[in-house]
Structure 1
Amino acid sequence: MVLLYVFGAVALINCAYYFFFSKIAFLKPSEKKIVEKFPVSLIVCAKNEAENLKKHIPQWQQQRYFSFEIILINDASVDETLEVMEAFAEKDPRIQIVNVKNNEAFWANKKYALTLGIKRAKNTRLIFTDADCYPASADWLGLMTSKFSDEKQLVLGYGAYEKQAGFLNKLIRFETFLTAVQYFSYAKAGNPYMGVGRNLAYTSNLYYENKGFMSHIKVPSGDDDLFVNEAATAKNVAIAIEPEAFTYSYPKKKKQKWHLQKKRHYSTAKLYKPKHRLVLGLFFLTNLLFWVLAPISLCTDYWSFGLAIFLLRISTQYLILGNAAKNLREQDLIAYIPLYEIFLIFTQLSIFISNSSEKNSRWK
C-alpha cells in the first residue's frame, strides 16, 4: 500500500505540472497583427551551410516588413558558404556579411561569431534564426518584431521541425514541442528560463546590459538558452505563438546524430539558475518515477487503485498536451503521447549519464 501512496504522490506532482502548462495549452494566439514601428536586423550565423542558404535566403528576403537588414555571418566555413552569401549580397543591399576567421582565443566558438554579427547590426532590435531554418510565413519577421515594446526586450518564438515519416521524426518533434510548452509556460508565469536560437529576438540594449555571452563564452552551447536564462525577467519577455511566427528546420535522420545534438543542448542545463534546475529536474524525475512505478502498481493486490491513479495522470496529460499540440500545430503527435514520453525519458536519462562523464563538443 505504501507503494501506491508513493505512486499517487508522483502522479499528483505530474498533474500539477500539467495544470501549470495549461497557461499555453488554453492560450489562444492573438489575431495576426503587425505594427511596423521598428526597423530590425535579422542575424543568421552559418557554418558550412551553403546549400541551406541557397534555399532560405530568398525566404528571408521575401519577408513582408517595412525595414530590415540581413546580417549573414560566415563562421569560418570550409565550403561555399561565403560565396553564396556574397552572390546574394551583390543583388540586395539589405544583406551585410560578417566573415569570421578562427582565432586562438575563440576557436570554433559560435558565440564569438554572433558577437561580431550583433556589433555589425545597425538596428537595436535583433531577430535570430539558424541557417537551416525557414519561416512559416512571410509575416514571421513582422510578428516577432510586433512583440517588442519599451518594456518587452526579449521575444521567445517556436522553432519547430518539419513533419517527416518515421518514429524518430515524431520523437524529435515531441521533445521540441514539450520543451516549448515548458519554456512558454514559465515565461507566461513570469519565470522565463530559456529560448531557442532557431526563433529568438532581443534588443542590443539587453545584450550589452548583460555583457553579451561573457559569463558563458567558453561553453560551446548556450548562445540562446543560457543568454535567456541570464537576461530574461518577469517583465521583459514576450512570447510569439502565432503559427505564422514559427520557424521550421530539418530534423536529424539518424538517432546517433540527434543524440549528439541533444548532448550539447542538455549540457547547458546545469548552468541554469538553481530554481530553474530544481523545477525542471523535479519534472523529469517524477515522469521517470511514474513510468517505473506504474507497472509495479498494476501488479499489486490494490491494482484497481493503481489503475485509477494511472488513468487520472494520463487523462490530465492528454487534456493539457493535446490542446497545446493544437496551438503549436503538432496534432499528429497527440495519439501516442505516452509512448513518445517513455522513449524520451529514457533517452534523456542515457544522455544525462553520458554527459556526466564526457566533455562537451564544439559547435558543429
Structure 2
Amino acid sequence: MSFLSRLYESLETAYGTPALALAAAAVVLFIVQLCYWMRCYARIPSYRVDGGQERDTQRPPVSVIVVVQDDFTYLEETLPLILGQQYPEFEVVVVDLASAEEFSDALQALQEQHPHLSATRIEQDTRFPIGRKLALNVGIKAARYERLLITTTAARPTSDRWLALMARGFERGDVVLGYCGMERKPGIVNRLIRCSRVMTSVRALSSAIRGVPYRGSIHNLGFTKTLYFGVKGFNYLNLNSGEDDLFLQTIATPDNTAVILNPKATVRQWQWGGASWWHDLRKFESYTYKYYPLQVKNAVQWELGSRLLFLATVLTALCLLPPEFKLGTLALWLLRLGIVEFESWRIRRRLGEGGLGWCWIVYDLWAPLCEIRLWLSRTLRPSKGLWR
C-alpha cells in the first residue's frame, strides 16, 4: 500500500489530479464495456438450447398463427414458405382481418389446396377497431395444438427448417425466443439497420440466456396455450404493442424459456424504407420500454451510457492530457474496438448475419447518439396510433 501511495503522489505531482481522474474514468468505463461484451453478450455464440441433454425424439404438433389483411404478396410469396416447412405435424392459422372479398377468395383457394391451412375471418366494426392483440387472440383460440408460434406478414422464414428448429425450443420450455433479422439490401443504410437489429436482439437474447427474459420478437415467438390463458391473454389491451415484451414478461421465467440461435431458424423482416422509416419503427416499438423492470432498464442504460462516456473520455483525453496519457487512452479505445469487433463477429456468425464487419465500427460510434435522439423523439413526440 505504501508503494501505491507513493506512486499516486508522484503521478499527482507530475500530472495533476484532473488528469489522473480522467485516466481512471477511462479505465473504469473500459472495464464496464469489457464486462458486457466478454461476459454477457459472449454467451450467445456458445449457447445450446438443450444444454447437452439428450433430446426428446417426439416432435410435438405446432400451430403457426399470423394475422393478414389484404396482403396478396404474403399469400403469393411468404405463406407458401410456411406451408412448405419440413415438419411432421403442424397447422397454419391465418386470421383474416376484414380483407376484401377478392383476398378472402384467394385465401379460401389456398385452404382447399393445403389441408393444414385454416383461416378465421374477423369483420371490422368502424366504431370498435380491431387491433393485432384481439386478432391474435382469435387465432390462438382457433388453434388446435398446445404449442404456438407467432409470426407476421412483415417477415419470412429463411429456410424450410424454421419450424422444426423453433419447435425444438418446446423441448426445453414453454416459451421460445427466436431471432428476427432484417432483409439484406445494398447500401450502407441497410447495413446500419441490420447492425441495429442485431444489437437490439443481442441485448434481449443474452439477457434471456442469463435468466432474465424480457423481450422477444413478434415475428418469431413461441409459447403455449396453457401459459397464454393462464394469464388471461395479452395485457395492456389499450396499447397497440407489447405482445413480445410486456406480455412476455408475464409468462417467461428463467426455467421455462428457451432461446433458438440458428441461421436456419431465423426470419427476416422486410425493410420498407430508409433511415427515417427505421427511426419511426424503433420509436413505436420502444415505447413499451418505460414499463420494463428497473433491472432491465439499468442493464440497457449502463451499456449505452458507458459506451458514450468512454468515447467522450477518450476524446477529452486526446485533447487535454499529456502525450503519454493520450497514447494510453487511445490504446484503450483501440483495444475495446478490437474486442467488440471480434465478439460481434462471433455473435453475427451464430445469427447468420454476414457482411457487417467494417460497418459495425461505424454503427458502434453512431448508436449512442441515435439512442439519445430516439429517447428525445419518443418523449417529445409520441408515435401516432400507440393507444386505442
TM-score by length of 2: 0.86
Contact 1:45–1:74, Cα closer than 8 Å, also in 2 = yes
Counterpart check, 1:249 vs 2:280: no
Pick closer, same or farther for the CA change 1:203–1:310 going to 2, 3 Å.
same
Counterpart check, 1:89 vs 2:108: no
Larger mean Cα displacement after TM superposition, 13-22 or 290-299: 290-299
Match of 2:375 among 314, 330, 352: 352
User: Which residue does the alignment assign to 1:238?
Assistant: 258
Displacement of 1:108 after TM fit?
Answer: 4.5
2:37 partner letter: Y
User: Which residue does the alignment assign to 2:14?
Assistant: none
Greater Rg over alpha carbons, structure: 2
User: Which residue does the alignment assign to 2:209?
Assistant: 188
Counterpart check, 1:46 vs 2:68: yes
Q: Deviations over 1:242-286 (max 9, x none)?
A: 221111222233222211111111111111122111111221222
Count of aligned positions? 361
Mapped to 1, the partners of 2:57 and 2:364 lie a distance apart of: 39
Q: Deviation above 6 Å: which 4+ runs of structure 1?
A: 28-31
User: Which residue does the alignment assign to 1:99?
Assistant: 121
Contact 1:25–1:327, Cα closer than 8 Å, also in 2 = yes
Match of 2:34 among 3, 6, 15: 15
Contact 2:241–2:288, Cα closer than 8 Å, also in 1 = yes
Mapped to 2, the partners of 1:241 and 1:117 lie a distance apart of: 26
Contact 2:49–2:169, Cα closer than 8 Å, also in 1 = no
Displacement of 1:103 after TM fit?
Answer: 4.1
Q: Deviations over 1:133-189 (max 9, x none)?
A: 22121111111112213x600111111122110111111111111122222211111
Pick closer, same or farther for the CA change 1:188–1:61 going to 2, 3 Å.
same
Counterpart check, 1:319 vs 2:352: no
User: Which residue does the alignment assign to 2:292?
Assistant: 272
Percent of aligned pairs sharing the same letter:
27
Displacement of 1:28 after TM fit?
Answer: 6.5
Contact 1:40–1:125, Cα closer than 8 Å, also in 2 = yes
Mapped to 2, the partners of 1:81 and 1:276 lie a distance apart of: 42
Contact 1:297–1:306, Cα closer than 8 Å, also in 2 = yes
Contact 1:46–1:81, Cα closer than 8 Å, also in 2 = no
Unaligned 5+ segments in structure 2 are 1-18
Displacement of 1:80 after TM fit?
Answer: 5.5
Contact 2:111–2:118, Cα closer than 8 Å, also in 1 = yes
User: Which residue does the alignment assign to 1:172?
Assistant: 193
| RMSD of aligned residue pairs (Cα, Å) | 2.3
Give the secondary-structure state (helix, strand or coil) at the position aligned to 2:120: strand
Contact 1:36–1:65, Cα closer than 8 Å, also in 2 = no
Contact 2:181–2:198, Cα closer than 8 Å, also in 1 = yes
Mapped to 2, the partners of 1:51 and 1:346 lie a distance apart of: 36
TM-score by length of 1: 0.92
Unaligned 5+ segments in structure 1 are none
Larger mean Cα displacement after TM superposition, 336-345 or 227-236: 336-345
1:132 partner letter: A
Contact 2:151–2:219, Cα closer than 8 Å, also in 1 = yes
Q: Deviations over 1:14-57 (max 9, x none)?
A: 111112111013447889x8945211100011234221232111
Contact 2:94–2:117, Cα closer than 8 Å, also in 1 = yes
Mapped to 2, the partners of 1:183 and 1:241 lie a distance apart of: 13
Larger mean Cα displacement after TM superposition, 256-265 or 47-56: 47-56
Displacement of 1:6 after TM fit?
Answer: 2.1
User: Which residue does the alignment assign to 1:124?
Assistant: 146
2:214 partner letter: Y
1:294 partner letter: V
Mapped to 2, the partners of 1:343 and 1:126 lie a distance apart of: 37
Mapped to 1, the partners of 2:110 and 2:104 lie a distance apart of: 10
Pick closer, same or farther for the CA change 1:83–1:269 going to 2, 3 Å.
farther
